[in-house]
Structure 1
Amino acid sequence: MSQYSISEFSRYTSNVLLKDTDQMSMANGIEVRVPFLDHELVEYVLSLPDTFKNIKNQKQLLVDAFIDFIPPQIYQRKKQGFIIPINKWMQKIKTAL
């Protein structure tokens, strides 16, 4: 698991996600911060035993760290995806034309 995490971080996160986020934010004049990628935090999390890294709930460690600060209706809710409202945007553009 740790080798997978290191590979995921060094290849996908660094080379794809951060690059794409940087390009999109700069193109729109937005400054983006990534506090969970602080090198000391990343090193700490990567050093944890695999027993702390739950495949079924990938964010359980994060929830456990902030459980006293987050209302139950937030951390107990069902996972949901983010859907880009492209049809709505296109309709708005069409109407404007």
Structure 2
Amino acid sequence: MAFFALTMVNGPSWDTSRQRREQRGWDEHAAFMDRLVEEGFVILGGPIGDGERTLMAVEAGDEREIKARLAEDPWASMGLLQIGAIQPWTIWLDGRQKSPTH
């Protein structure tokens, strides 16, 4: 397994008059993303900058796996969210793995 930095962008059906959590299908999308976190696929994720994009750190075998998993997102089929970029990420620093100090 490898880590990837994944950028998601709003799709053609995104309603610019609504906030992210007000988009249609939010509950289904949120439940889907929560499952990806529970399964260990998504490590970190959330909107960045002005909220037009989201950034996720994911752990997967390869880009094909990422594309296949995210194709199951209800927002993907609704045209609300799509992959912007996928880049391999070599993580050298990880504060989540802090060891106790003595």
For normalisation by structure 1, the TM-score amounts to 0.26
Larger RCO, structures 1/2 (Cα 8 Å, 6+ apart) = 2
Look at both structures and tell me which one has the larger radius of gyration over its CA atoms: 1
For normalisation by structure 2, the TM-score amounts to 0.25
The structure with the greater share of residues assigned to helix is 1
The structure with the greater share of residues assigned to strand is 2
